[in-house]
Amino acid sequence: MISNEEKAENFAREMEVSCDQGKYRDAIAFAACLLNLQEEKFGPEDARTGATVNALAGFYLMLGEDGTAERFYHRSVRIAQEACGPEHPNTSVCISSMAACYESMGAYAKAEPLYQAAIQIQEKAFGPNDPRTGDTLGSLANLYVLMGDYTKAEALYRRALSIWEKALGSEHPITVAAANGLARLYTKTGDLPTAERLLKTSVEITEARFGPEHPATADCLKDLGAVYVSAKDYVQARPLFARAIKVYDDLAKACEAEQKYSQAEPPYRRLLSLYEMVHGAEDMAIGPTLTHLAELYQKMGAYALAEPLYQRCIRMCERENHPNLGAMLIQLAGLYTSMGAPSKGVPLLQRLIEMDEQTYGPNHSTTANSVKKFADLYTNMREQGKAEPLYRRARAILQNGGG
């Protein structure tokens, strides 16, 4: 018979594997089982229990379920404060995680004091120049950029960069990433010469260390291209963007093919932001990448993140009267079925049938296929009385040639 200790080890291992693969729904299930065992053995307020609560919060955040994530983060902070003490490093980690949650929700005013509190704890525990302190300084700097407070952001970026340079050297990937954050800020504020200088150095470092086709190099190329776009120097921007696009696209597709969804998401997101920079946020040229990212989120079970992307694709298709509109309606209806809300797909498939009837006619095979999809939806909803007449109609069309 397997002991509870062995069960806990198995749950923890499976949780980590699922997380690495981007299968956060599975990770949540394993984490919940682990949490039950820990609460029984250690109690609900033990630090080990709190660590699993914090992990659960992170999984929900990755799924875009911010409200649930917030509740778990609140609990993890409370446990850390009681089990470890209000000024313990573990508490700072939980507080910083909750700040990131609020940042994701757009609740910047709630995130700011939490990042500040985490920094104060880390400065006392590790010192003002420790890399762990620098990490949270960088997070707060990113928040200030989102808030539009560039003066505060610059000061924090500079301080974090100084910490990383002293601790790891100027050519370490973390240091380069910090320099890039500062460069992006200078691009926003219009100090393009300084941004260009920093990013050219970053490109040289990453190419020498990782090679020209590494994602870290692509990040630098993308940011440098953005500098040239701001300067309206599109001749220099285009080849940089082209190189970055190829790296992101190849990496995203390779990771997705291997079902490493958590590793595929960042390059897809970077690819989308790059296409938005090149074509604009509403251009149909970004449609395939939007769709790929939405499909990836659906595979990950991140339905709250997939839904707005599909809806955005539909709006773009509607505006351009694009032939992909029908396919997008089908995909969004499929998402709602995956979410356990198939009834939300009813008006989508009704609209699809109306479109097909207008385009192809009521007795065309394409219309029949859409009618059958609608019947399948009602079958999934266990409304066979509504499904059967649709199945009969689809069969009749196809039996009569569907021309």
For position 282, what pLDDT does the model report? 87
Q: Which letter does DSSP use for residue 48 in this model? A: H
* Mean pLDDT calculated for residue range 214-227: 96
3-class DSSP assignment, residue 280: coil
Gap between the Cα atoms of 211 and 335, Å rounded: 39
* Mean pLDDT calculated for residue range 283-302: 94
Q: Which of 139, 105, 111, 15 is nearest to 304 (CA)?
A: 105
Domain housing 358: 299-403
* Mean pLDDT calculated for residue range 130-140: 95
For position 278, what pLDDT does the model report? 87
pLDDT at 1 over 80: no
Q: Read off the amino acid at residue 203.
A: V
Q: How many CB atoms lie within 10 A of CB 312?
A: 18
Residue 332 domain flag: yes
Each residue of 24-51: b (16+ CB within 10 Å) or e?
bebbbbbbebbbbbbbeeeeeebbbbbb
CA 306 to chain centroid, in Å, comes to 10
Instruction: Cite the DSSP H helix spans in 127-172.
Output: 131-147, 150-168
Instruction: Cite the DSSP H helix spans in 63-107.
Output: 66-83, 89-105
Which CATH number is 381's domain given? 1.25.40.10
- 299 within 8 A of 325, measured Cβ to Cβ: no
- 123 within 8 A of 159, measured Cβ to Cβ: no
Give 402's pLDDT tier (boundaries 50, 70, 90). low
Residue 312 domain flag: yes
Q: What is the per-residue pLDDT across 329-381, written as a single tens digit (0 to 9) for each?
A: 999 999 999 999 999 999 999 999 999 999 999 999 999 999 999 999 999 99
Q: Which of 104, 117, 178 is nearest to 143 (CA)?
A: 104
To the nearest 10°, report the CA torsion of 301, 105, 143, 27.
-30
3-class DSSP assignment, residue 334: helix
3-class DSSP assignment, residue 293: helix
Q: Which helix (H) or strand (E) holds 30?
A: helix 24-42
Residue 209 domain flag: no
Residue 31 CA: distances (Å) to CA of 51, 77, 387: 10, 18, 39
CA 361 to chain centroid, in Å, comes to 41
Gap between the Cα atoms of 191 and 196, Å rounded: 9
For position 244, what pLDDT does the model report? 96
For position 207, what pLDDT does the model report? 96
**What are the φ/ψ torsions at residue 82 (nearest 5 degrees)?**
-80, -40
* Mean pLDDT calculated for residue range 255-267: 93
Give 73's pLDDT tier (boundaries 50, 70, 90). very high
- 42 within 8 A of 283, measured Cβ to Cβ: no
* Mean pLDDT calculated for residue range 288-316: 95
Q: How many CB atoms lie within 10 A of CB 359?
A: 12
For position 2, what pLDDT does the model report? 82
Residue 27 domain flag: no
Residue 359 domain flag: yes
Q: Read off the amino acid at residue 39.
A: E
Gap between the Cα atoms of 56 and 11, Å rounded: 13
Residue 303 domain flag: yes
Q: What is the per-residue pLDDT across 36-67, written as a single tens digit (0 to 9) for each?
A: 999 999 999 999 999 999 999 999 999 999 99
Q: What is the per-residue pLDDT across 141-171, written as a single tens digit (0 to 9) for each?
A: 999 999 999 999 999 999 999 999 999 999 9
Residue 325 domain flag: yes
pLDDT at 277 over 80: yes
Number of structural domains the chain divides into: 1
Residue 308 domain flag: yes
pTM higher than the cut 0.95: no
Gap between the Cα atoms of 307 and 319, Å rounded: 19
pLDDT at 194 over 80: yes
Residue 236 CA: distances (Å) to CA of 9, 230, 281: 53, 11, 22
Q: Which of 76, 51, 71 is nearest to 61 (CA)?
A: 71
For position 349, what pLDDT does the model report? 96
Tokens of 247: 């790296």
